[in-house]
Amino acid sequence: RSVGADRIVNAVGAYVKWGVGARQAAPLLVIDFGTATTFDVVTTQGDFIGGAIAPGLKTINEALAEKCAQLPLVPLELPKKVIGRTTVDAIRSGVFWGYVSLVEGMIVRFKKFLKSKVVHSTTHSFCTSPKMNSFKTSSKKFHTLHNN
C-alpha cells in the first residue's frame, strides 16, 4: 500500500496546525486543490485513515478542451451566471460550478461516512484566489494550511 508524500505532508501539517490538543473536536478533512484534488482524513488522534482523489479544476477544464474537438479551452474565471448563453459561458459555468458541486458532494459523503462533522483544511494557492471566494462561501469555513 502506498500514499503519495504530498498527501502525508498535507495531513501531518494540518494535524500539527489544527489537530494537536483539545482544539480538534472533529476529524480533519484535508483538501488539496492542485492538478488533482485530494481529500484526506486525519482522526482526532492524528491517524491518517485515507481519502479520495479526483481531477483538479484546471485538469477538468483542460481535459474538456482536449477531448472535445469542438470545445475551446476557456480561461478559468468565476461565471457571471449559472446558465451560459454562449459556448464559452456554458463551459465556464459547467466547469466551475460542476467542480464546486464535486467538492461539496465529497464533503457531504465524508461527513456521512465518518458520522461526524469535519474541520476543513485546504492547501494550494488556488484556495486563496478570488476564483474560490464563492466556493468558500458556499462551503462554510475553510482553514488554509499553506500556499504553494
Q: Which of 6, 32, 40, 47 is catalytic?
A: 6
CB contact at 8 A, 126 and 144: no
CB contact at 8 A, 140 and 120: yes
124-21-113 Cα angle (round to 5): 60
CB contact at 8 A, 31 and 8: no
CB contact at 8 A, 59 and 76: no
CB contact at 8 A, 7 and 140: no
Determine the 3-state secondary structure of 32 from DSSP: strand
Active site residue 6: yes
Catalytic residues: 6
